[in-house]
Amino acid sequence: MSEPAAARDLRSGKKFTLSDRAFGMLLIAPALIVFLVVIAYPIGRGIWVSFCANKLKNINSPVWNDFKNYRDIFKRGAFWQYFGTTLVFVVLTVSIQVVLGMMLSLLLNSNIRGRKMFRGFFIIPWTIPSVVVAILWNWILQQQYGVVNYLIMRTGAISAMELNWVSDPALAMASIILACIWKQLPYMTVMLLAGLQSVDTGLVEAAHIDGANGLKSLWHIVLPSIRPVLVTCTWLSVTQNFQQFTIIKNMTGGGPVYATTTLSVAAYKEAFTSYNFGTSAAIGVLWMVFLFFITLLSNWMNDRYSRDFV
């Protein structure tokens, strides 16, 4: 940036001969090297592999196979099934989480005592490792001795311990969504709460004096003010849940049959159960393309929204 010429002279006369720009680049060099070696190169190679026959025996020498991987996953109709499952899982997990997180953070942001204590309690599930979350919820949702079935039975909705959570297609989806929301809700709440705490209270008070009720000021003042945080959190949650593997793998294993096989579980199984690296990479590439377009779309909508309101 523009720095005083005097300061520049003062420094260049000293032992450092590196320009500021070169020094700055030097500092990001380790990050760039790691990025290139373990992210950019693997992704680039993954895109190439997606067009190749690549199994365990030729793991280091993929051979071009004329889009066979893509034709395969579309021909079996498998891709659309995985894709649909992923969308159901991601949309439900994220939307329920955003709504609950919003309610919880509004509650925490209201005039209460012990806010920090409550926030501290609410964040604990986030610190539990995903594998443990999966095993814990499997036990809670266990058919014969699980607490959830017991509670539902006590309310009289079912007459015996009969809900087989992880083996019924719809219930299996509900199980993984429940476990994921439990684990992720704290993060969402803390972020939204931070957003709420930065809202100008003067604006809310002014609206109150002008006769706006709580709901109105929430809709017209609070939500627009925290829109950037809300968008960031939602976006992070969407990408994160596209990646969700640990909880699904350890709760349902993608089953029953394919009921909870999302793109990430399918890509894993193709690669490391069937050792069809090419097919797995093809699933991954399609998923990247989808997220890329969603990002463009959301940026475009964001720009338009900002223009309308500025």
Q: Which of residues 52-81 bind another protein (CB under 8 A)?
A: 59-60
When binding is defined by CB under 8 A, the residue of 12, 95, 198, 306 that contacts another protein is 198
When binding is defined by CB under 8 A, the residue of 171, 194, 204, 212 that contacts another protein is 194
When binding is defined by CB under 8 A, the residue of 272, 293, 300, 305 that contacts another protein is 272
Question: Nearer to another protein by C-beta: 173 or 250?
Answer: 250
108 in contact with another protein (CB under 8 A): yes
At closest approach, how far in Å is the CB of 36 from another protein? 11
What is the DSSP track for the chain?
----HHHHHHHHTSS--S-HHHHHHHHHHHHHHHHIIIIIHHHHHHHHHTTEE--STTTTS-EE-TTHHHHHHHHTSHHHHHHHHHHHHHHHHHHHHHHHHHHHHHHHHSS-S-HHHHHHHHHHHHHS-HHHHHHHHHHHT-TTT-HHHHHHHHHTSSSSS---TTTSHHHHHHHHHHHHHHHHHHHHHHHHHHHHHTS-HHHHHHHHHTT--HHHHIIIIIHHHTHHHHHHHHHHHHHHHHH--HHHHHHTTT-STTTT--HHHHHHHHHHTS--HHHHHHHHHHHHHHHHHHHHHHHHHHHHHHHHH-
How many whole angstroms separate alpha carbon 58 and alpha carbon 2? 55
119 in contact with another protein (CB under 8 A): yes
**Residues 241-260, interacting with another protein (CB under 8 A):** 242-243, 245-246, 249-250
**Residues 120-179, interacting with another protein (CB under 8 A):** 120-125, 127-132, 134-137, 139-140, 142, 144-145, 147, 150, 161
Which of these ranges, 10-18, 72-80, 89-97, 217-225, lies near another protein under the rule CB under 8 A? 10-18
When binding is defined by CB under 8 A, the residue of 95, 232, 274, 306 that contacts another protein is 232
At closest approach, how far in Å is the CB of 59 from another protein? 5
Question: Nearer to another protein by C-beta: 70 or 137?
Answer: 137
Binding mask 12-41 for another protein (x = CB under 8 A): --xxx---xx-xxx-xx-xxx-xx-xxx-x
**Residues 276-305, interacting with another protein (CB under 8 A):** 277, 280-281, 283-285, 287-288, 291-292, 295
